[in-house]
A and B are shown apart, each in its own frame.
Chain A
Amino acid sequence: MRRLGLLLPLLFALPAAAQQKIVERRIAVDADVSLRITNMAGLTRIIGWDRDSIAVSGTVAANGSFFFGGRGRYAKMGVDRPDETLAEPGSTLEIRVPRAARLYVKSGSAAIDASGLTGEIECYSVGGSIKIEGALQVVTAETMDGAIEVIGAMEVTRLKGGSAPVTLRRARGDVLASTVGGAIIAVEALLNRADLKTISGAITYDGAVQPKGTLEATTHSGNITFRLPSTISAELSVQSFAGTIDTDFFPKGRVPKWTAGGKEWVVALGDGAARIRMESFKGDIRILRR
């Protein structure tokens, strides 16, 4: 009895990890399966593979219950918890899916990390970060407060963030990105169409634009910086009401006398086939050579 008295406190003091449940499941599905994943807290890692099956492994929080079902073209999995608003304890799921799968992923504070995919993905998160890497047809990611990072050449990318940054690396195709206070950063981009909007975040675009492509960047108070190839052919349209406008695109002595004050300045570089528009209320605008 005395031993039991000593053991009971120890049992209650077991770390949370020890109370987690381990899951390991697999089902056969079609190559273009539609899979819905819900994991509100912790981590959801999705990896595309060359098999017509979904395999999941990981640990489920002690107060969570794991569900997984479906076959053929539809499947769903996730973790149900009594209180979805709590960030802890979380569950960690590593999910392997056919590369061409169509995914819908919902998260609260859980981070979402997807790679090796070629189909479509929609991610919705409250505060968890979202990272997507691959060559997908359509990427949709929305978060209130988490960072978003998209790596690779997607056909269509739609991103909505809050106060955390939205980053695109090696982006191609069409991009719609908006944030409230988070920066929008495009690195090594070669876009066809882009509409980048933020209220107070900065917009940084480092890359080129497709011939006849159109890029638009709009901020209220965030700065806009475009680093473009010196050989670019585009019509630039620049406007800021209370910010400064600056460029190193022209030889000394031929710098256009751009000033703020709300006037729209338009200048053609090369044959001006593509169109790039930058607009801010009071953010500074800089157009620099790469």
Chain B
Amino acid sequence: MTCSELKDRLDAYLRDALTPTEAAAFEGHLSGCAACAGLLETVGAPVAGTAALPRTVPPGEDLWPEISARLTPRRAAIPGRVVIPGWLLATAAVLLVSLSSGITAIALRSGPAAPAAAEPPRLGAQEAEFAAAAADLSRTLEQARGRLAPATIATIQRNLATIDSALAESRRALARDPDNSALEQLVLTAWRQKVDLLRRAAALSTES
């Protein structure tokens, strides 16, 4: 075993993860190499110290009353769980969809996805999350658009327009048939595609 190989296996040795053969080779090298023996001593001591620490440290018994006392006033200020009505979630979703599409359109000067009519609250909440993610990614993309070639921006625009068009079409169909779970899935699939495309585009613009 060489010094370099020993360094590679040092962590495994300290974790007792080497096979007996590997461990024997490791220790064989140590016995004849002062530099590696010194390295083991330097690295091994803190690791051994860490290993000696207890797995769990129970909090002191006198700690909780003080924490509890500080929490109580805040709890009192919250009368109970806030129940957000479905129509509010749906409205928030529509607003976020519009915001996301608007930001994307500004970022890439492409056409926006059409906002939808009322829809099931559960879907509305999920769309709101996708729209928020899309808005974040669009902002990142806008900040770094100077690092992308014009042809790349055109490609992203074209792909986003395709997705936005599909999204709008699926959402219109869902507005006509709001209980259709398969249509909901198509809407969510389009959202996933959109967020994924924006994520990839943002990664390109920040990495290149």
Report A's interface with B, CB cutoff 8 A: 40, 72-73, 84-87, 106, 108, 124, 126-127, 142, 144-145, 160, 162-163, 178, 180-181, 197, 199-200, 218, 220-221, 239, 241, 262, 264, 279, 281-282
Contact = CB atoms under 8 A, between A and B. Distances in A.
Q: Interface of chain A, helix or strand or loop or mixed?
A: loop
Interface of B: 4, 8, 147-149, 151-152, 155-156, 158-159, 162-163, 166, 169-170, 173, 177, 180, 182-183, 185-186, 189-190, 193, 196-197, 200-201, 204, 207-208
B159 A144 contact: yes
Nearest to B207: A106
Nearest to B159: A180
Nearest to B156: A144
A181 B204 CA distance: 19
12 contacts: A40-B208, A73-B8, A86-B149, A126-B149, A126-B204, A144-B155, A145-B152, A180-B159, A197-B193, A199-B190, A220-B166, A220-B186
Given A162-B155, A241-B186, A279-B186, 15 more contacts: A40-B208, A124-B204, A144-B152, A144-B156, A145-B155, A160-B200, A163-B158, A180-B159, A180-B163, A218-B186, A264-B182, A281-B170, A281-B173, A281-B186, A282-B169
A196 B183 CA distance: 18
Main secondary structure of the interface of B (DSSP, over half): helix
Contact of B149 (A108, A199, A218): A108
A160 B203 CA distance: 14
A160 B159 CA distance: 13
Contact of B182 (A124, A142, A279): A279
Contacts of A106: 207
Given A127-B152, A160-B196, A85 B147 contact: yes
